[in-house]
Amino acid sequence: MPASAELANHIAEQLAPLGGITRKRMFGGVGFCHYGAMVAILSRSNELYLKYPAPHADLGEPLISRRTDKTTGGIREIPLPYYRLPETALDNGDELRDWVRQAIARLGKP
């Protein structure tokens, strides 16, 4: 099931004051970009993940990519540099924008 369009719209509205925020559909989820650089992903399960250069005590588990190993046919799990945001951030625009600002600064994005 794809990510909720209503939730994606809500997140986009909350991030709009940052400027330069666009979104694109990807693999059933929605990617949020800041001047073209991906900064967050809303997963198909409607969990919001923030791109962050390293684990952070206040962020949740990393987003996991599951890929088929071409040699063995088994499934490999690869952690990605996206960490689940606290659920409170979805209900609090200031908190959400603060997290995204931190990520942009740490990632060296414009």
For the residues of the chain, what is the DSSP string, one character each? -PPPHHHHHHHHHHHGGGSSEEEEEETTEEEEEETTEEEEEE-TTS-EEEE-SS--TTS-PEEEEEEE-TTT--EEEEEEEEEEPPTHHHH-HHHHHHHHHHHHHHHT--
Q: Does domain 3-107 have CATH number 3.30.1460.30?
A: yes
pLDDT of 22 reads 95
Mean pLDDT estimate for the chain: 88
Boundaries of every domain in the chain: 3-107
Below-50 pLDDT ranges, the chain? none
State the pTM of this model: 0.82
pLDDT of 79 reads 84
- How far apart are the C-alpha atoms of 36 and 48, rounded to whole Å? 18
- How far apart are the C-alpha atoms of 64 and 21, rounded to whole Å? 24
